[in-house]
Structure 1
Amino acid sequence: MPVHPLSSLSATVVALRRAGCVFAEDEARLLHEAAASAAELSLLVERRAAGLPLEHVLGWADFHGRRFAVDAGVFVPRRRTEFLVAQAAALAPRRAVVVDLCCGSGALGVALAAASDAAELHACDVEPAAVRCARRNVGDLGYVYEGDLFAPLPAALRGRVDVLLANVPYVPTGDVELLPAEARIHEPRVALDGGGDGLDVMRRVAAEAPRWLAPGGSLLVEASERQRDTAVEVVRAAGLSPRVLVSEELYATVLVGTAPVGAAEHLGFSPWGDPVTAPNPSAQD
């Protein structure tokens, strides 16, 4: 429902509530801040009430304490994924070589590069819209490539990657239609659909990761809690040492697969992939 040009903040809240927006008060404030005129406010609220993700309406998403451009048709970075970035930052050596696969807007790679003082950042995605958006966010911090998983990466990166982020799709195909309309309709299916059990893309990434990781380098991916045991076996079968980190606060499950370093390949890790509840230094109250 369009908002009257002279609508107050409270009227905007009412319009958003009627449209089913759970966080109507917060969204109304952001929309009022974003609008340069009453006419623009009316348009923004109309688009949000019609079901467009708030981040696509605003043109940006708040992630890991920074604002990232998020264009229409680009996957919106989730707050729970801040946990993955925090764990990656804890693992990254100084001046790390970082690769962000399935990068979407590029938010994960940029956030990690900033948190870990990365020496190199490389990101890639198969979606042209995502690549255009990521290039805006990455800027001169690194390089963004278009292509399927590892295919577009420079061969010179093989055996040099310290941290490999792979925010792969992990929703089982049969569950995609159960997702909220914001994701199901407005985000690319390739960023959501992980195949029959949700782990098809993860399997492809894990199988090839050892060729790209430096000794002791780590692959980090998200999964659902119910996929945890299978995902651990996927990582182990690829020759990486698996462990599971869990944020109960953010409902996030992260799989870490670490490449061997001589005979000490398992030192400091759980070879059985037992879950560990880890702190989340990036969480906001």
Structure 2
Amino acid sequence: MTAFDTVEITRQLRAAGCVFAEDEARLLTDAAASDAELARLLARRIAGTPLEHLLGWAQFRGIRVGVRDGVFVPRRRSALMVDEALELAAVHPVRTVVDLCCGSGALGLALLTALGTRAAELVATDIDPVAVTCARENVAAVGGHVHRGDLFDAVPDTLRGRIDILLANTPYVPSDLIARLPPEARDHEPPAALDGGPDGLDLARRTAAGAAGWLAPGGSLLVEIGVDQIPAATELLIGSGLIARIARAPDLGATVAVGRRPVATSDR
């Protein structure tokens, strides 16, 4: 493409409200094999299709994660979940990781990649068949396995009481706020990956309720939440028999509720 073309593409993207128009123009130009394909990609982006769906990948914690139409795009703020899991891994051996509501599988993939030689067994689950297919392709690189089903229904029973890290990026947007989400999310990502019920914690509540029976002694559940949900999330973790704490990264706009299964004397 010519320099003039890139300038014009940037102008159109900026007019459509794309904050990083110059970067997006470069990425779309690099992704297109022809002028005709570039025109199609540009038209879809201006219409609101997420850039990641057009490119076929999203950058997450330094890794390119494959995504596709209809799959939740991993958010930069979710890196806090991986960071917290790595801190836990430094003090508690991690043999088994489960990624519930895995979407593209980005969290499990990033965690096992970061663990490196300490890599654990990874199992991921999602209720959406498109997400399951996408996640299988992504986590194959770290030997992960993906199952389709509703939360713990999809987790192999052999993992009961053995999970050291339970990542649960459950949807946490209250139902009546879905309409206020950016069109990229509202119109192009699966509603089940966004809608958390009346208070945004429906799936988090169900996950916490079942977590103690699946976690290994000393194992932890990590759930992404909104900052206004801290009191309710803390209460539901404690009510599920877990030791609760809250991790925050204001620079990412991220909040994670962490619940650890206590280690009983008989477990030592």
Q: Same fold (TM over 0.5)?
A: yes
| One-letter amino acid of the structure 2 residue matched with residue 99 of structure 1 | V
Query: Unpaired segments of 5 or more residues in structure 1?
Result: 266-285
| One-letter amino acid of the structure 2 residue matched with residue 68 of structure 1 | V
Residue 112 in structure 1 maps to residue 114 in structure 2: no
Quick one: distance in 2 between partners of 1:70 and 1:46? 19
CA deviation map 1:205-233 (0-9, x unaligned):
00000111000000001111111011000
Quick one: distance in 2 between partners of 1:192 and 1:87? 22
Judge conservation of contact 2:94–2:164 (CA < 8 Å) in 1.
no
Question: Could you say which residue in structure 1 is the equivalent of 2:23?
Answer: 26
Shift of 1:6: 9.0
Judge conservation of contact 2:176–2:198 (CA < 8 Å) in 1.
yes
Question: Could you say which residue in structure 2 is the equivalent of 1:281?
Answer: none
Quick one: distance in 2 between partners of 1:208 and 1:53? 34
Quick one: distance in 2 between partners of 1:128 and 1:241? 34
Shift of 1:118: 2.5
* 1:58-77 mapped onto 2 (5 Å cutoff): 58-77=55-74
| One-letter amino acid of the structure 1 residue matched with residue 109 of structure 2 | V
Quick one: distance in 1 between partners of 2:125 and 2:133? 11
Greater helix fraction, Structure 1 or Structure 2:
2
4+ runs of 1 displaced by more than 4 Å?
A: 4-7
Question: Could you say which residue in structure 2 is the equivalent of 1:234?
Answer: 236
| One-letter amino acid of the structure 1 residue matched with residue 158 of structure 2 | A
Shift of 1:263: 5.6
Question: Could you say which residue in structure 2 is the equivalent of 1:139?
Answer: 140
What secondary structure sits across from 1:150 in the alignment? Answer: helix
Give the alignment partner of residue 176 of structure 2, picking from 171, 174, 177: 174
Quick one: distance in 2 between partners of 1:49 and 1:163? 40
Residue 122 in structure 1 maps to residue 123 in structure 2: yes
- TM-score of the pair, normalised by structure 1: 0.88
| One-letter amino acid of the structure 2 residue matched with residue 96 of structure 1 | R
Question: Could you say which residue in structure 2 is the equivalent of 1:103?
Answer: 102
Shift of 1:7: 5.6
Give the number of aligned pairs.
262
| One-letter amino acid of the structure 2 residue matched with residue 67 of structure 1 | R
Question: Could you say which residue in structure 2 is the equivalent of 1:273?
Answer: none
Quick one: distance in 2 between partners of 1:179 and 1:95? 36
Question: Could you say which residue in structure 1 is the equivalent of 2:164?
Answer: 162
In angstroms, what is the RMSD of aligned CA positions? 1.7
- TM-score of the pair, normalised by structure 2: 0.94
Shift of 1:197: 0.4
Query: Unpaired segments of 5 or more residues in structure 2?
Result: none
